[in-house]
Amino acid sequence: MTSVEEPARSGERIRDAARTRAEILDVATQEFARAGYDGARVDEIAARTRTTKRMIYYYFGGKEQLFTSVLERAYGVIREAEQQLDVDHLDPVAAIRRLAELTLDHHEQHPDFIRLVSIENIHEAQHIAASEKLGKIGSPALDVIRRILASGRESGLFTADVDAVDLHAMISSFCFFRVANRHTFGALFGRDLLDEAQRAHYRAMLGDMVIAYLTAERTPR
Amino acid sequence: MTSVEEPARSGERIRDAARTRAEILDVATQEFARAGYDGARVDEIAARTRTTKRMIYYYFGGKEQLFTSVLERAYGVIREAEQQLDVDHLDPVAAIRRLAELTLDHHEQHPDFIRLVSIENIHEAQHIAASEKLGKIGSPALDVIRRILASGRESGLFTADVDAVDLHAMISSFCFFRVANRHTFGALFGRDLLDEAQRAHYRAMLGDMVIAYLTAERTPR
DNA sequence: TCACTGATGTACGAACCAGTACGTTAGCTG
DNA sequence: CAGCTAACGTACTGGTTCGTACATCAGTGA
């Protein structure tokens, strides 16, 4: 998360637009993730900032646009992480497994992002629709998946002609569910999907699942 | 969904506690699913009912308990559906595939339930925790999965010693994601996961994935 | 150094919204 | 048919919450 860093020259800078803006975004991210869009309080965000509510309206225009900006930055972070993906040197099977594991880890490390996405879905992605930036970011991960799938198909390792977007959905769904539904799943089934002791287990399970799917002999049903 | 049915003897019954209660629950389910817990308006629920806000407080005590009651009934519906599961006459592979397909269909047909679960997770399952009923419902689907897994293992069809709860999570995650994240996924990747024309495709994909996982030869990594 | 603009703080308003005090009625029970 | 209680309606309140009018200050460029 791109968060506010104290400048080396000890604090106390009075006027710093970029800094104020970033600090508002940091706190707003937490508050929206904590309580949902309607549950979040603009006053609460302001209170936890070194500035005032006035500044939120000055910089972002309103609660709605603030949430959109929070989303834009959050998606920016994950897009950056995906751009760091470097699995081209691996064979297709190892590459897919690695991609799945990195996705699992990344989701686990960014629960606020997962919550924001859940919240945005409750609101039917209206903020993404209203955002110019978010419409056309695309997903670096998709390009990676496309390359791996192509090479896996060429080498004959992957049996099925799987679509990259579908595979992305398959991997994401498990990683997302694990974080997003942690609480209800835990309450109903008595199992914490984010239990540290189980992380290796679930990483292996996801990798096994995806690889099994990609390499299975398709028997017509 | 257990919804309010007009009694055969034409309407106009003035006092009917059960009916009023059920109607409130129906409308509340829609309203909470539409707008989230904090976004939902008690006045709005009352307005769309043949009764008044006073009755909501009379029967349920408050907004919080109303939401809990909505959750309890929603989970009751899915539990009932799971109890109808009848796949014991099928061979393990067909049984698992059928279970996965039924789960996919059920989730798709109950988007409000999916939204309620998402909302409850944003609130860290606090209402489930506060509910006496929801704590101990268990999942009939889990029992079914356990039976299928046992028989699949016996017959040697299933290679791995997979845990029933894990398999349930695996199947649910894809079905859940497809409905819950429909909007953001659609906005970002330009693909509607609930497109009717794609339903058969995703049903097959989910089944293939789960079966491939269960029947794959495990190669030690 | 002075004026101008971007950045910031204070104080407040108006709408909203969960919850309730109080009064009324339907319909069953004896 | 009397009277009791569960069921219901009206009207209101008190606190909350988004948003803004207005005043002020910092720093820069001429």
Rounded to 10°, the helix B111-122/B164-180 angle is: 100
Query: Rounded distance, CA A42 to CA A24, Å?
Result: 10
Percent of chain A with pLDDT over 70: 91
Under the banding of pLDDT at 50, 70 and 90, the label for residue B10 is very low
Decide if pLDDT at B54 tops 50. yes
- Please give the pLDDT value at position A219: 56
Å between CA of A13 and C1' of D23: 22
What CATH code would you report for A7-61? 1.10.10.60
Under the banding of pLDDT at 50, 70 and 90, the label for residue A4 is very low
User: Which nucleotide is closest, CA of A44 to its C1'?
Assistant: D17
Under the banding of pLDDT at 50, 70 and 90, the label for residue A20 is confident
Interchain pair B120, A172: CB under 8 A: no
Neighbours of A172 (CB within 10 A): 21
pLDDT in tens, B189-210: 999 999 999 999 999 999 999 9
Interchain pair B205, A172: CB under 8 A: no
Under the banding of pLDDT at 50, 70 and 90, the label for residue B5 is very low
Under the banding of pLDDT at 50, 70 and 90, the label for residue B218 is low
User: Which nucleotide is closest, CA of A17 to its C1'?
Assistant: C7
pLDDT in tens, B168-190: 999 999 999 999 999 999 999 99
- Please give the pLDDT value at position A92: 96
Give residue limits of the domains in chain A.
7-61, 65-215
**Nucleotides of chain D touched by protein CB (<7 A):** 6-11, 17-22, 26-27
Distance from CA of A11 to the nearest CA of B (A): 35
Under the banding of pLDDT at 50, 70 and 90, the label for residue B2 is very low
User: Which nucleotide is closest, CA of A52 to its C1'?
Assistant: C9
Is the Cβ atom of A14 within 7 Å of strand D at any atom? Answer: yes
- Please give the pLDDT value at position A14: 62
B window 7-26: Cβ near strand C (< 7 A): 13-15
Q: Which CATH architecture has domain B85-215?
A: Orthogonal Bundle (1.10)
Task: Tally the residues of chain B.
Answer: 221
Decide if pLDDT at A175 tops 90. yes
If one compares B6 and B24, the residue with the highest pLDDT of the two is B24
A window 53-82: Cβ near strand D (< 7 A): 53-54, 57, 62-64
Phi, psi at residue B93, to the nearest 5°?
-65, -50
Where do we find the tokens 């991609």?
A99
Query: Rounded distance, CA A122 to CA B184, Å?
Result: 10
Task: Tally the residues of chain A.
Answer: 221
pLDDT in tens, A190-200: 999 999 999 99
Å between CA of B58 and C1' of C24: 16
pLDDT in tens, B121-157: 999 999 999 998 897 777 899 999 999 999 999 999 9
CATH superfamily of the domain spanning A65-215: Tetracycline Repressor, domain 2 (1.10.357.10)
Distance from CA of A64 to the nearest CA of B (A): 13
pLDDT in tens, A63-114: 999 999 999 999 999 999 999 999 989 999 999 999 999 999 999 999 999 9
Query: Rounded distance, CA A185 to CA B124, Å?
Result: 10
Residue A59 near residue A21 (C-beta atoms within 8 A) = yes
**A198: nearest Cα among A210, A186, A212, A216:** A186
- Please give the pLDDT value at position A11: 34
Distant-in-sequence, close-in-space partners of B105: CB < 8 Å, separation ≥ 6: B203
